[in-house]
A and B are shown apart, each in its own frame.
Chain A
């Protein structure tokens, strides 16, 4: 038996000390990949084993139908967890669902989970929430795992040192039936974040700056490993914000090596290992980082002390600038494609080149989404608005990322702070991040949003989205236009 096969043996036992075994130094992602390798096609993709399959109501009904039509079943219902988040209303949970098509999709998920024996955190469950918020919160997400979900923001879970990525519905069906997934091996891309962030500059500003630097397709075909002192100092929630938006740079996944911050977060959660099992996990995970000398296909270094609060001005997350900046002009770009893209974006966003970002007035504020709706986000935003009022003409809402986040926020009386300032305080869900439920922008409305995508129509047809941090969104709500939140703290 070769060392190579030994290495594939299993989850934690496998995470080998590559250097001691005299193997090629490996990256963090390669270690997880190898330890989940079931088999390989010659010159083809690799079959990987999946530790956690997270399921939601929008991308799963066709997958379950496929299983039924082919007479197949779910191979590992015990590794499969479902919740409802995408299309659910965020107003009173005890009222009937107004949208009958959405209601049918939710009902389908209930039937499917029941039929195939899958754990479902239903609408009224105290564990319900955005799938990428509840995975970590419940201790379902652990270091070293392979995690998939029919949602592109599955990259969020990489913050724990797991390999996590979004898949399509056919792949959801495949994972349900086989607990495995075929993948082409991505390349390694390291992003080193150095320096100390200025006060008022958040993880959101860091990831927006990274996307600005490398572009919305800059990480295509790669796994982004975030590293460096600035990342090490981040809380798990900040790391989740970073990894969450890896997909906006086109990456297959984002990943951060686990450390004591990770283990402290995971400890004592509902489904995380306990006692000796936990100690064993921690012990094995100490090897779960890129070896010195591991080869990266590309490396970029960012100095976080130079990053300012970021505001997107266009129709993809790479169209972003400093809060101190101005709306660019198509002429600022050299190639025809970019000029055309900027022209289209400015037209859609109804913005004039040269306008100061801080002069852009807003109609709506959305604090929510799998990017920025965890307790630290709500807490930070509440500090900005405490004792103040939302500007006249602005409508603002907070949608906690999960039921647990909502309960914790209420325990800290943050709901009162938001309500007193004039914010709406809602039930948890994806809400206006993608506007599948009744929470949408009206045509022409301009929104400061803590979500992850400013695509045309994303938050409602004709709606104009500016992506910002929770701090920047809160400050914009109070002022009615963007302000440099550093001057507010």
Chain B
């Protein structure tokens, strides 16, 4: 099996993750909070864990704020992030998910997620699980009351289990589930549909001179990077 770019298997497949739970007890956590903008200038995908929740985690001098969850020893080494509604709203920055993953989280549980953040999770082998408000609330209570509270998230069976709770089933659509379970490289997957794409392009250009391109097919009009703008 080819692991890495170029093959079908890009991500670490996600099957079962067991890990401690860290709670972020706020609604509408936006991606500006997850990774502030000053850390978006890098050109790689890794190394963002140190910037996760930066402004909440560190004071303006760069010293850790002891009261913040991730600075409390009891949550060190967590793999499951427990959050509130509309998690990951705002900017489309994938850096937010890169930071969550790089810090060590593989699962985010919340009542709801922003659409772009949800997609970005799936692209990076992070499992976003949405549960009812009541279920999330009960998990918050457990996490606060039990030191080192941990959960086992089983994607194959679509279940969450843990000490002192009944099994929690969760929903995920078949395609994202398959993608995570197999660690699928989405581009490679799509390129299997190459004939469909070519067919679509042909259909359009045969019968439609205007769109999708108002220029480009016509060599005369085609622009290149060498054109001066």
A455 to B177, CA, bound (A): 32
Q: Write the chain A residue with the least CB distance to B188.
A: A70
Contact of B5 among A47, A70, A76, A87 (CB under 8 A): A70
* Contact call A455/B197, Cβ cutoff below 8 A: no
User: CB-CB contacts of A443-487 with B at 8 A, as 1s and 0s?
Assistant: 100000000010111100110000000000000000000000000
Contact of B186 among A139, A182, A277 (CB under 8 A): A182
For residue A258, CB closer than 8 A to chain B, the reply is: no
Q: Write the chain B residue with the least CB distance to A456.
A: B33
Chain A positions 199-251 with a Cβ under 8 Å from a chain B Cβ: 216-217, 220-221, 247-248, 250
* Contact call B215/A65, Cβ cutoff below 8 A: no
For residue B116, CB closer than 8 A to chain A, the reply is: yes
* Contact call A38/B187, Cβ cutoff below 8 A: no
* Contact call A11/B196, Cβ cutoff below 8 A: no
Contact of A142 among B5, B85, B114, B211 (CB under 8 A): B211
Contact of A171 among B28, B123, B209 (CB under 8 A): B123
With A70-B187, A152-B91, A174-B186 already in contact, the answer to whether A78 and B213 are too (CB < 8 A) is yes
Chain A positions 107-155 with a Cβ under 8 Å from a chain B Cβ: 108, 113-114, 117-122, 125-127, 139, 142, 144-146, 150-152
* Contact call B210/A273, Cβ cutoff below 8 A: yes
Q: Which of B34-42, B70-78, B149-157, B159-167 contacts A (4 or more CB under 8 A)?
A: B34-42
* Contact call B187/A44, Cβ cutoff below 8 A: no
Q: Write the chain B residue with the least CB distance to A282.
A: B210
Contact of B43 among A10, A79, A108, A119 (CB under 8 A): A108
A9 to B200, CA, bound (A): 8
With A178-B197, A179-B197 already in contact, the answer to whether A87 and B41 are too (CB < 8 A) is yes
Contact of B212 among A105, A145, A169, A216 (CB under 8 A): A145
Contact of A119 among B120, B124, B223 (CB under 8 A): B223
* Contact call A119/B123, Cβ cutoff below 8 A: no
* Contact call B26/A271, Cβ cutoff below 8 A: no
Contact of A152 among B84, B92, B216 (CB under 8 A): B92
* Contact call A114/B40, Cβ cutoff below 8 A: no
Chain A positions 400-435 with a Cβ under 8 Å from a chain B Cβ: 434-435
A59 to B5, CA, bound (A): 19
- Contact size class for A? 35 or more
A38 to B212, CA, bound (A): 14
User: CB-CB contacts of B83-115 with A at 8 A, as 1s and 0s?
Assistant: 011100111111001000000000000001011
Query: With a CB–CB cut-off of 8 A, which chain A residues contact B86?
Result: 216-217, 220, 250
* Contact call B186/A102, Cβ cutoff below 8 A: no
Q: Write the chain A residue with the least CB distance to B186.
A: A174
A316 to B190, CA, bound (A): 37
Query: With a CB–CB cut-off of 8 A, which chain B residues contact A102?
Result: 41
A41 nearest CB across to chain B (Å): 5
* Contact call B44/A65, Cβ cutoff below 8 A: yes
Query: With a CB–CB cut-off of 8 A, which chain B residues contact A8?
Result: 203
For residue B30, CB closer than 8 A to chain A, the reply is: yes
A117 to B223, CA, bound (A): 9
* Contact call A79/B212, Cβ cutoff below 8 A: yes
B4, B45, B116 interface centre (most CB from chain A within 10 Å)? B116
Q: Write the chain B residue with the least CB distance to A443.
A: B60
* Contact call B37/A434, Cβ cutoff below 8 A: yes
A170 to B94, CA, bound (A): 8
With A41-B175, A171-B119, A281-B211 already in contact, the answer to whether A119 and B224 are too (CB < 8 A) is yes
Interface size on B, residues (CB 8 A): 70
Query: With a CB–CB cut-off of 8 A, which chain A residues contact B41?
Result: 58, 87, 99, 101-102, 104-105, 436
* Contact call A144/B211, Cβ cutoff below 8 A: yes
User: CB-CB contacts of B185-198 with A at 8 A, as 1s and 0s?
Assistant: 11100110100110
Query: With a CB–CB cut-off of 8 A, which chain A residues contact B27?
Result: 337-338, 340-341
Q: Write the chain A residue with the least CB distance to B97.
A: A168
* Contact call B190/A220, Cβ cutoff below 8 A: no
* Contact call A337/B84, Cβ cutoff below 8 A: yes
Query: With a CB–CB cut-off of 8 A, which chain A residues contact B40?
Result: 58, 86-87, 436
* Contact call B28/A316, Cβ cutoff below 8 A: yes
A278 to B123, CA, bound (A): 39
A181 nearest CB across to chain B (Å): 9
Q: Write the chain A residue with the least CB distance to B86.
A: A217
* Contact call A151/B92, Cβ cutoff below 8 A: yes
With A44-B175, A78-B216, A151-B92 already in contact, the answer to whether A121 and B211 are too (CB < 8 A) is no
B174 nearest CB across to chain A (Å): 5
14 new A-B contacts at CB < 8 Å, known A13-B207, A45-B173, A217-B112: A49-B212, A61-B43, A72-B187, A78-B216, A87-B40, A119-B223, A152-B91, A166-B116, A182-B190, A248-B90, A277-B209, A434-B91, A458-B37, A461-B55
* A-B residue pairs, 3 tightest by C-beta: A11-B211, A78-B216, A44-B175
- B residues in contact (CB < 8 Å) with A: 4-6, 26-28, 30, 32-33, 36-38, 40-45, 55, 60, 84-86, 89-94, 97, 112, 114-116, 119-120, 123-124, 173-175, 185-187, 190-191, 193, 196-197, 200-201, 203-204, 207-217, 222-225, 227, 229
Could you name 16 residue pairs across A and B whose Cβ atoms are closer than 8 Å?
A41-B174, A49-B200, A51-B212, A58-B93, A86-B40, A144-B211, A145-B212, A166-B92, A170-B123, A177-B190, A178-B197, A217-B86, A217-B112, A221-B115, A271-B215, A456-B33
